[in-house]
């Protein structure tokens, strides 16, 4: 079972679509890196998974439980 799943996550900032339908999973012990051009959404992905930004759509699953972070400290 993955320790982290990002399922169809999208993030909007007003009319700006920062992320569109992002999905991936991370297995326990796995190391993952994000690569992409400037403005591709790498920081937004990390900040959304960390709880800084709530996703506009989709869900984040940690150890099999869907998470709803309202504050970064809950992440």
pLDDT at 75: 61
Q: Is the pLDDT of residue 73 over 90?
A: no
8 Å CB contact between 45 and 33: no
For residue 3, which phi and psi values (nearest 5 degrees)? -80, -25
pLDDT at 28: 97
CATH label of the domain that carries residue 65: 3.40.50.300
Q: Which two tokens stand for residue 60?
A: 């984040």
Residue range(s) defining the domain that contains residue 55: 4-74
CA dist 32 and 13 (Å) reads 26
Total domains, the chain: 1
8 Å CB contact between 50 and 75: yes
Mean pLDDT of 46-51: 92
Query: pLDDT per residue over 3-25, tens digit each?
Result: 999 999 999 999 999 999 999 99
Residues 6+ apart with CB under 8 A from 28: 2, 3
């Amino acid at each position: 079972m993955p320790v982290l799943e990002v399922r169809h996550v999208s993030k909007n900032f007003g009319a700006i679509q920062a992320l569109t339908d992002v999905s991936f999973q991370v297995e326990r012990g796995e190391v993952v890196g994000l690569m992409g051009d400037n403005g591709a959404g790498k920081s937004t992905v990390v900040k959304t998974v960390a709880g800084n930004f709530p996703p506009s759509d989709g869900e984040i699953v940690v150890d099999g439980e869907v998470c709803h972070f309202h504050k970064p400290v809950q992440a």
